[in-house]
Amino acid sequence: MRIRVLIAFACISCAAAAQEPPAAPRGDLGVRYWISSGETKRAHNAQSFDPTLGNPTSVLLYENLDANTIELFGRQYFGGGQWLIKGFIGLGEITRGSFRDEDFNAGQVKFSDTTSSVTAGDISYGAIDIGRNEWRLRDGRTLLGLYVGYSEWKEDMDAYGVSDALGFVGDVSRDVKVISNKVTWKSLRVGFAGNLALTERMRLDLDLALVPYSKVRNDDSHFLRQDPTDLGPAPNIIIEGEGRGVQLDAELRYEIVRRTELGLGVRYWYLEANKATRRLPNRPDVPELPVTDLYSERFGATLSLRRVW
């Protein structure tokens, strides 16, 4: 009789435990692969220095910048799950792309149009955020919160050879490095983070960061224009300014084994300068000029593996 009672009690206890909703995660740590393509564009207006030039005077576009990156990321909830701290850091390489340089006279009459191949480059980035979970849904496993944080995003690339469409500068062999570009964005982030339970083993992570303020520096090194009477030693064109933008991540996660999840997602980053100037550090006789366009954009797919506790 006692054995039957104990068995019945055990069965009732197991059934009750099975009906209890799983606890919300306390944190995670993982590795992520990001395959992406991006571009960086800049243009300036030199009409105040030479009225015979156009507006924009010069447009430089680095596009189809394919990249592969590996990153480490993590998140920890504390204060009874009400607060969180999260972050990531990534490194990778730009494997290919193209560079186009266009120059205009007044009336936007183009007098130079060249293209080069981007064959090598580096990309690095990272962010740290702290936030508060403002809403926890009835299932106890869905968390919605707000955060503030800081991020950095750097891209450094080299372009080789020149194909001259208008014959202004002439063609240059593809084994000659003609220009390097390095752009760095240091940004304040204000965002929304959602950790949504779709099923017992599947989650959706949403992370939307608005960037109300970003400080940008763009260094150009024109290696074929280092004569003192031209642009001088590299880096020979520097742009500094302030801007804004958005950083979006969405990832679907599935628990492949207990507390280990595989994730597949998308990521989109866009930062632009709304105020910037261009200067020649080796030519004090040339004044600073206004930048009419400067942005960096990157989009791609992510694949992650994480351990949850």
**Neighbouring-strand partners of residue 278:** 239, 289
87: nearest Cα among 240, 191, 221, 215: 191
Tens place of pLDDT for every residue, the chain, 309 residues? 333 433 333 343 343 333 344 455 688 999 999 999 999 999 999 999 999 999 999 999 999 999 999 999 999 988 877 888 999 999 999 999 999 999 999 999 999 999 999 999 999 999 999 998 766 665 556 667 899 999 999 999 999 999 999 999 899 999 999 999 999 999 999 999 888 888 889 989 999 999 999 999 999 999 999 999 999 999 999 999 999 999 999 999 999 999 999 999 999 999 999 999 999 999 999 999 999 999 999 999 999 999 998
Interatomic CA distance for residues 162 and 168, integer angstroms: 11
Phi and psi, residue 250, nearest 5°: -140, 130
- Model confidence, pTM: 0.89
User: So where are the chain's domains?
Assistant: 29-308
Q: CATH code for 29-308?
A: 2.40.128.90
Q: ∠239-227-159 over CA atoms, to 5°? A: 55
Measured torsion, CA atoms of residues 106, 43, 36, 195, in degrees rounded to the nearest 10? -130
Distance CA 187, CA 89 (A): 15
Question: Residue 9: what are its φ and ψ, rounded to 5°?
Answer: -65, -40
Nearest CA to 129 out of 192, 72, 80 is that of 192
